[in-house]
Amino acid sequence: MQKIPLADWIETIVSWMEDHLVFLFDIISSVIEGVVNAFNWLFMLPHPLLFIAILGVLAFLVGRISLTLFSVVGFLLIYNLGFWSQTMDTLSLVITSALISVILGVPIGIWCAYSKGAARIITPLLDFMQTMPAFVYLLPAVTFFSLGVVPGVIASVIFAIPPTIRLTLLGIKQVSGELTEAADAFGSTSMQKLFKVQIPLALPTLMAGINQTIMLSLSMVVIASMIGAQGIGAEVYRAVTQLQIGKGFEAGLAVVILAIVLDRFTQRLFTSNKRRR
Amino acid sequence: MSILQIKQVSKLFGPHAEQSLELLEQGWTKEKLAKEKSVTVGVNRASLSIEEGEIFVIMGLSGSGKSTLVRMLNRLIEPTGGEILVHGKDLMKMNKEQLRKVRRETISMVFQKFALFPHRTVLENVEYGLEIQKKDKQKRRDKAKQSLALVGLEGWENKRPDELSGGMQQRVGLARALANDPEVLLMDEAFSALDPLIRRDMQDELLELQEKMKKTIIFITHDLDEALRIGDRIALMKDGAVVQIGTPEEILTQPANSYVERFVEDVDLSKVLTASHVMRRPETIMIDRGPRVALELMRERGISNLFVIDRSKRMLGVITAEDASEAMRSGRTLEDILIVDGPRVHPDVLINELFEVTSLAKVPLAVVDDSNRLVGVIVRGAVLGALAGESNAKEVGPNAENTIS
């Protein structure tokens, strides 16, 4: 029996897109690069110690004293180990991908909640995106966007967007039927129902999705470094290829610190929100 | 003209609902449709016309289609067939914009499980209907506050719904519906989730409010007692169809068929009527008045005793005319001659439990609520009179005569 030429088809599609959609990729590329650079510029603007001080104050505002202590000590350690600018590169990349994931994911999630057809098509697509080995995304990303931070962001978004979509969908579906009925009964338009009732009530679930998205995009940083995205992931990758165990551990530790701080921050942000409500 | 007319309205659930409607009209039974077409008949060609200013109760057991019917009145559920006329205009032919206008201005709804928005304060809940109409912020605040005052919830504006008790939550639900100043109020089992004592209070309050506002109220319930207490007219539903429409009296005395008969036959009046049905408005005097004033009051009203209350209407005791004139001569105060151990009952006590108390008591029976406020008085003879079908409770509530008969 003959093999189905699936690989050939994919390559044909990719090369067609490469030929015909190049202007689109250029636009996307420059936008993403602009956003990443803007964040990076912002994070590098203050002296690291000032940055850490600001971070400490923010941590104190959203959370508890333990979060403040951990953030300050953790980031001081990163500074001390000499990974400051790499960590800021990574932070810019993660925040950019999270931002894009939210901007795309929340509306898609809402669309799925409203349209059964959309949900039926998009849900398996999400399964596909999450289970496909992340390395596979790197190839087309590199083909379309060449090397550097942009394909890293793209691959991160593809890998990290599913939780935002899924949990937005879930959050909106979970709003009790009686409440949406009440919103209808008083003569709300669909938009009013969405923004005044459904989204506020879905917010805790939605925030959990965004938290997951940030974590997943952080988990992509090492992989993204393989296609030339600068940052702490690149340090890890270099250490691994050169068998420098100590160096690898240091860089890995920086990733862990960044992950924990980001996770606690987003979680806190949501719980303090809830307390205020 | 009736404010709301429902003509041959049906709702069928399942595939091919519309074709099945024809079959239903050709005489297929509900069972046959369910079996052969897997179509469920929710409401089966119901026709009602509802007059302005009445409390129209739709009653039936669960599954009788009453909740479906009421949701078709504002098209939360789309009818499969039939006509719904609001002020003579066909609701079914309205586009989205027109329908929204009806929902915003003409028909409001109160829900069984309150359906308050948990992320909004009480005040924000009440102003929701006005907010989405983009009414001026100050105006809608004022209107919402008025509406809350109407249901007795001043001072609770900034609480969250989950900080309130069930009864209070439903007051918020009612206030939210009233804030829009609708002509028609749909109340879907509005009091069913409340415990019996609170339910009774809410019924009374609804009647009191209705006295002031004269809205058209469509009230859904599965509770016959509730229907009899508050309904001006009652429609009884079974299996999606309306079986009988009539005043509470007609339903009780002339049941249209054996189903209605079975429904109402268990109604033993002595078990349905409560102290609040037979009580009269009490004659009272404030504790800080003198015996001379008390005597004058009794002479004026032609009665021989008076209930003594404090400023917050709490019941303190009873005085008799003899004691008062004695006190006037000897210069004593009302407090000295107060009889504090007179009989007291709660408004919800059934009248068959009242016989013993009334026959033993020397003074009229005081009816006091949970916070010991005097709400009525029961004189001897009133209990028997009520059982004999006399409507002697007219002074108490606008619909008392219905519940007595």
According to CATH, the superfamily of the domain at B52-82+94-272 is: P-loop containing nucleotide triphosphate hydrolases (3.40.50.300)
The better pLDDT of the pair A171, B401 is held by A171
* Helix (H) or strand (E) segment spanning residue A271: helix A245-276
Instruction: Say if residue B41's pLDDT is above 60.
Output: yes
Q: What is the pLDDT, as a whole number, of residue B84?
A: 93
Alpha carbon B331 to its chain's center: 47
**Model pTM score:** 0.70
What is the band of B69 on the pLDDT scale with cuts at 50, 70, 90? very high
Question: A80 and chain B: CB distance < 8 Å anywhere?
Answer: no
Phi, psi of A22 (to 5 degrees): -60, -35
Rounded to a whole number, what is the distance in Å from the CA of A124 to chain B's nearest CA? 27
Is residue A12 domain-resident? no
Confidence grade of residue B339 (pLDDT, cut at 50, 70, 90): confident
| Cβ B174 vs Cβ B164: under 8 Å | no
Is pLDDT of B396 > 90? no
Q: Give the Cα separation of B18 and B80 in Å (integer).
A: 6
Contact B128 A196 (CB under 8 A): yes
Total domains in the fold of chain A: 1
Is B103 within 8 Å of A200 when comparing Cβ atoms?
no
Q: E strands, B36-183, where?
A: 40-50, 55-59, 81-86, 89-90, 107-110
What is the phi/psi pair of residue A172, to 5°? -70, -40
Enumerate helices (H) and strands (E) in chain A, giving the number of each.
14, 0
Res B52 pLDDT > 70: yes
Q: Which residues of chain A have pLDDT under 70?
A: 270-277
Whether A170 maps to a domain, the answer reads yes
Cβ-based contacts of B71 with chain A (< 8 Å): 181
| A179 close contact with B: CB closer than 8 A | yes
Cα separation, A17 vs A263, in Å, equals 37
In a domain, A10, yes or no: no
A6 within domain boundaries: no
User: Which residue in B95, B101, B122, B132 has the most chain A C-beta atoms within 10 A of its own C-beta, making it the best mutation to test that interface?
Assistant: B132
Q: Please report residues of A whose CB lies closer than 8 A to that of B78.
A: none
**Mean confidence (pLDDT) of chain B:** 84
Question: How large a percentage of chain B has pLDDT more than 70?
Answer: 91
**By C-alpha distance, which of A234, A232, A253, A223 is closest to A91?**
A232
Residues of chain B above pLDDT 90, percent? 29
> Which tens digits make up the pLDDT trace of B246-282?
988 788 777 777 777 777 766 666 666 777 777 888 8
- Consecutive H or E run containing A250: helix A245-276
Is pLDDT above 70 for B391?
Answer: no
Q: Which amino acid is at A127?
A: D
Cβ-based neighbour number of residue A24 at 10 Å: 11
Cα gap B391→A129, rounded to integer Å: 75
Residue B404 pLDDT: 31
Cα Rg of chain B (Å, integer): 25
Residues of B in CB contact (< 8 Å) with A are 71, 74, 76, 99-104, 108-109, 111-113, 115, 117-119, 128-129, 131-133, 176, 180, 186
Paired with B366 in beta bridges are B344, B377
CB–CB contact A186 B132 (8 Å): yes
A181-190, B47-56, B163-172, B374-383: range with lowest mean pLDDT:
B374-383
**CA nearest B176: which of B214, B208, B112, B130?**
B130
The whole-number pLDDT of residue A273 equals 52
* pLDDT at residue A232, as a whole number: 84
Residue A57 falls within a domain, yes or no? yes
CATH for B276-404? 3.10.580.10
- Mutation site, B102, B119, B135, interface A, largest A CB count within 10 A: B119
Q: Give B117's contacts in chain A (Cβ within 8 Å).
A: 179, 182, 197, 201
Residue B325 has pLDDT above 70, yes or no: yes
> Chain B within 8 Å of A4 (Cβ-Cβ)?
no
Rounded Cα–Cα distance for residues B344 and A100 (Å): 70
* pLDDT value at B375 more than 90: no
Q: Please report whether residue A4 resides in a domain.
A: no
Q: In this structure, what CATH number is given to the domain that contains residue A269? A: 1.10.3720.10
In chain B, which residues fall in CATH 3.10.580.10?
276-404
Domain that holds residue A131: 18-276
Chain B residues with beta carbon closer than 8 angstroms to that of A199: none
Asked if residue A158 is part of any domain, the answer here is yes
